[in-house]
């Protein structure tokens, strides 16, 4: 690995990490194991009032951007959607002068409560996950950012009455973090 580390930024789009098992565990482990700067939208914007200039400045300084979120109704939560709506503006992220994020490397880091098989035609979630994510990745592609990979972990449901299990989620969160760190290290080595 090179001596210089890239500027790594993780945007956490979970709306309330105090009620999360999977995403909060992932962030907790990343704080201990990585050089990545963790930016919690729920902590910074509990009233959903986004500081657009501050967010744009953070993004322009980052080399690798990890978008961490749970899949809510087959897309990211409302707080992250609002963040995209307000931060990815004309002539910043798109438009004639909208190249401020061009070629930034993006990793999608997603937790799903459902099983992988449920994202098939005729199953509980009706469509393949890739079809659901098309709308979610649109602002990233419009900003000419490069999605280098997606880390998805299924069955991240810790709610027993919904068939979930907290100890399984903790193990899956650990595996998710390991895959994410490996990917970030690979990007740093190739930089």
* Domain residue limits, the chain: 8-190
Beta-bridge partners for 38? 10
Domain 8-190, CATH? 3.40.50.360
What is the pTM for the complete model shown? 0.91
Look-up: residue for tokens 């994510």? 133
pLDDT over 50 (residue 3): no
| Separation of alpha carbons 62 and 171, rounded Å | 29
Contact 57, 99 (CB under 8 A): no
Decide which of 103 and 167 is more confident.
103
Helices (H), 4-128: 22-33, 41-44, 52-61, 78-87
Q: What is the pLDDT of residues 130-146, one digit of tens each?
A: 777 888 899 999 999 99
| Separation of alpha carbons 60 and 68, rounded Å | 18
């Amino acid at each position: 690995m090179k001596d210089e580390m890239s500027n790594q930024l993780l945007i956490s789009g979970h709306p309330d990490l105090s009620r999360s098992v999977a995403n909060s565990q992932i962030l907790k482990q990343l704080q201990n194991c990585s050089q990545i700067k963790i930016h919690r939208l729920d902590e910074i914007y509990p009233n959903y009032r986004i500081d657009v200039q501050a967010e744009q400045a953070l993004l322009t300084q980052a080399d690798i951007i990890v978008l961490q979120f749970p899949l809510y109704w087959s897309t990211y939560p409302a707080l992250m959607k609002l963040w995209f709506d307000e931060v990815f503006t004309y002539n910043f992220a798109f438009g004639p002068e909208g190249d401020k994020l061009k070629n930034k490397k993006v990793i999608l880091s997603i937790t799903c409560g459902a099983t992988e098989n449920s994202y098939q035609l005729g199953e509980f979630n009706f469509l393949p996950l890739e079809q659901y994510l098309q709308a979610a990745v649109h602002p990233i592609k419009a900003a000419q950012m490069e999605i280098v990979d997606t880390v998805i972990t299924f069955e991240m449901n810790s709610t027993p009455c919904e068939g979930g299990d907290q100890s399984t989620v903790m193990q899956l969160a650990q595996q998710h973090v390991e895959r994410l760190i490996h990917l970030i290290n690979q990007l740093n080595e190739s930089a």
